[in-house]
Amino acid sequence: MKIAILGAGPGIGLAVARRFGKEGFEVAMVARNHDRLAELTRTLAAEGVRAAAHPADLADEAALGAALDRIGPVDVLVHNGVGTGEARTPVLDVTRRSAQDAIDGAVLGAVTAVRAVLPGMLERGSGTLLFTSGISAVHPLPFLGNIGIAAAGLRNYALSLAEALRDRGVHVGHVPIAAAVTPDSPASPEIVADTHWSLHTGRDRHEVTLGDLAVLQAAMAAHAAQSV
């Protein structure tokens, strides 16, 4: 069994690799930073997880496609690309360029990846497509203007895939996060990883939200007040 993790980093990406790795999955990790990927694969190897690094920018269609070709058929794809843009732009400052920047990795990177792995999954009659995003995919947050546009687009794509692939053996899951991704939060990397694992194995839900929007909004308001 093999899993490809896109947008892999030391938080959610590493936790997902560990969770699936301990279940016997071979892990292929994709991200822009070659050195960080190499460090992550060394960490996983030391823990007994078979892992390989495949450096590629999720916003670069040719590079991402080449990386996925090298990886080959996968049983599970996890896309963590919502935060791969160069900058976060508040909604009143969103420009065509900043929106495109966010969309390239979050949405178009996901499309590139799905088109690479889905034909094989459909041929085998099995597979799982998993997507991680932020709560701005569901509830608009003005300070995440361009990221929210991309996250909402990714959510629409994921849930549309879920509908189109119903009864074809390929399960689709989306995890929007409404909390800080820290060790003591309801969206810790380990909880996110466990959620992806439950979506892969349970195959009875297409979306699980981690955290609480009201709590997140209160925390942001308190931070804004302290900053004044």
In terms of Cα–Cα distance, which of 40, 28, 132 is closest to 80?
132
> In the CATH hierarchy, which top-level class contains the domain 2-227?
alpha beta
Mean pLDDT of 203-225: 78
pTM score, whole prediction: 0.93
Task: For residue range 150-195, list pLDDT tens digits in order.
Answer: 999 999 999 999 999 999 999 999 999 999 899 999 999 999 999 9
Mean pLDDT of 26-34: 96
Token representation of residue 130: 């998993």
Task: For residue range 94-120, list pLDDT tens digits in order.
Answer: 999 999 999 998 999 999 999 999 999
Instruction: Give me the pLDDT at residue 196, please.
Output: 98
Task: For residue range 125-149, list pLDDT tens digits in order.
Answer: 999 999 999 999 999 999 999 999 9
Helix (H), strand (E) at residue 29: strand 26-31
Q: Quick check: 224 pLDDT over 80?
A: no
Beta-bridged to residue 26, according to DSSP, are: 2
- pLDDT interval class at 81 (50, 70, 90): confident
Q: Report domain extents, the chain.
A: 2-227
In terms of Cα–Cα distance, which of 37, 120, 44 is closest to 77?
120
| SS3 label, residue 127 | strand
